[in-house]
Amino acid sequence: MLIVKKFGGTSVGNKERILNVAKRCIEDYEKGNDVVVVLSAMGKMTDDLIKMAKDINPNPSKREMDMLLTTGEQTSVALMAMAMNALGVPAVSLNAFQVAMHTTHAYSNARIKRIDTDRVNNELEQRKIVIITGFQGVDRNENYTTLGRGGSDTTAVALAAALNADSCEIYTDVDGVYTADPRKVENAKKLKEITYDEMLEMATLGAGVLHNRSVELAKKHGVQLVVRSSLTKEEGTVVKERVARGKSEISGVAGDDDAARIAILGLEDTPGVAFKVFNVLAKKNVNIDIILQSVGEPGKKDISFTVKQEDAELAVNTLRDYMSEDDYRDIDVTTNVAKVSIVGRGLKDHAGMAARMFEALYEAGVNIRMISTSEIRVTVIVEEKDMVKAMNAAHDAFEL
């Protein structure tokens, strides 16, 4: 069997943890398997590197930023190879350049295009454990790129697909995917299985367990994932195309307090207004989440939408710059809002799921500011102070 194992930053945060990971990989190796290991930077090293950069230059070039951040993962893989060697096992570390992990040119947010497998296969044939840097790639001009925060998961899945691996295991500091964040919802339970689509919604909603692009890629290539803890031997959660689900139509509840709501009041009620607003925002790369348009005073309309908190200022400044003062009456920004979502395949086949959520929130005394739905998700915007209460109410209502 060829096994790809990915370990996150906390799993390789210090010497003991590195040795623990080395031993777990060696167990598989000694059973005769080929083992490829993908690592993140140790502990908070990526955050620390970002701080160092900003301290020297508040506005560092994106190229140099990626050049700097790739050193985090390079540190982990080299130390891991040394650890395995110390335990008497042949191992070799490779960075994105040495593997040849080809990505697009978009610094800090590159996408993997193609991975050369010759070097890796060659090393595996020599019965070495191959340890590869996560999160990084190389563009057409041989510049280092990175895949976005949390991107090592995506490296692991892309490698599993390229190498045709038999299994892809993502090790983190939690023991699987839960019905909700256990720190916020006490009754949260670990899921045995979850579909790619549900996981993708959960990851995008900020569940934080997997990089959302890694789930997209796993679905595309049919790579079955196992999410489990590096610190215990518990079984973890399997992410795959289809799952057998018991009584619940909902698989989880997500909460995300990194949201800001922007309302543009008193816009002209004529064609092209929404286009104008969202076109200027798109040009500035502001990612829009939930959009609501409503009727305002006679002949007027209001448009509200949510963005990540860090984008709120840019969004408002952009709108003020590009629209003239008689285009609207006022722009209002609220940062103390949060998103609460329920996710599940059952939503598309069962009527009344959204109503059940709204009833639970009503009973908990939570006011809903905005609503948005997809085939397998219902999201509401609530006040930030109500987020945890709303998550618990929804979780209880669906008896998760």
Site residues, ligand ASP (CB under 6 A)? 8-9, 40-41, 46, 72, 134-135, 149-152
In the complex with ligand ASP, which residue's Cβ is closer, 19 or 50?
Answer: 50
What's the closest the beta carbon of residue 369 comes to ligand ASP, in angstroms?
Answer: 31
In the complex with ligand ASP, which residue's Cβ is closer, 73 or 197?
Answer: 73
- How many Å apart are CA 49 and CA 15, to the nearest integer? 20
- How many Å apart are CA 367 and CA 380, to the nearest integer? 10
Stretch near Mg ion under the rule CB under 5 A, chosen from 7-15, 238-246, 306-314, 327-335? 7-15
Structure tokens that stand for 207 in this block: 């569940």
Q: Does 176 bind Mg ion (CB under 5 A)?
A: no
Stretch near Mg ion under the rule CB under 5 A, chosen from 1-9, 84-92, 110-118, 276-284? 1-9
What's the closest the beta carbon of residue 154 comes to ligand ASP, in angstroms?
Answer: 8
Q: Are 366 and 226 in contact (CB under 8 A)?
A: no
Q: Does 13 bind Mg ion (CB under 5 A)?
A: no
Q: Does 43 bind Mg ion (CB under 5 A)?
A: no
Sheet of 101-103: strand order equals: 112-115, 101-103, 136-138, 144-146
In the complex with ligand ASP, which residue's Cβ is closer, 9 or 252?
Answer: 9
What's the closest the beta carbon of residue 236 comes to ligand ASP, in angstroms?
Answer: 18
Task: Compute the Cα dihedral for 10, 11, 17, 19 and give only its sign.
Answer: negative
Q: Which of 218-249 are b and which e, b meaning 16 or more Cβ less than 10 Å from the residue's Cβ? A: bbeeebbbbbbbbbeeeebbbbbeebebeeeb
In the complex with Mg ion, which residue's Cβ is closer, 151 or 346?
Answer: 151
Burial of 19 (0-12, 13-18, 19+ CB in 10 A): middle
Q: Does 150 bind Mg ion (CB under 5 A)?
A: yes
Q: Does 137 bind Mg ion (CB under 5 A)?
A: no
Q: Does 134 bind Mg ion (CB under 5 A)?
A: no
What's the closest the beta carbon of residue 333 comes to ligand ASP, in angstroms?
Answer: 28
- How many Å apart are CA 138 and CA 136, to the nearest integer? 7
Instruction: From the list ligand ASP, Mg ion, none, pick the one residue 9 interacts with, judged by a Cβ distance below 5 to 8 Å according to partner type.
Output: ligand ASP
Which among 259, 265, 266 has a CA at the least distance from the CA of 287?
259
In the complex with ligand ASP, which residue's Cβ is closer, 48 or 359?
Answer: 48
- How many Å apart are CA 65 and CA 143, to the nearest integer? 11
Instruction: From the list ligand ASP, Mg ion, none, pick the one residue 389 interacts with, judged by a Cβ distance below 5 to 8 Å according to partner type.
Output: none
In the complex with ligand ASP, which residue's Cβ is closer, 29 or 135?
Answer: 135
| Token pair 């395949």 in the structure block, residue | 345
In the complex with ligand ASP, which residue's Cβ is closer, 44 or 300?
Answer: 44
Q: How far is CA 261 from CA 272, 306, 370, 381, in A?
A: 22, 4, 10, 9
Stretch near Mg ion under the rule CB under 5 A, chosen from 11-19, 148-156, 262-270, 323-331? 148-156
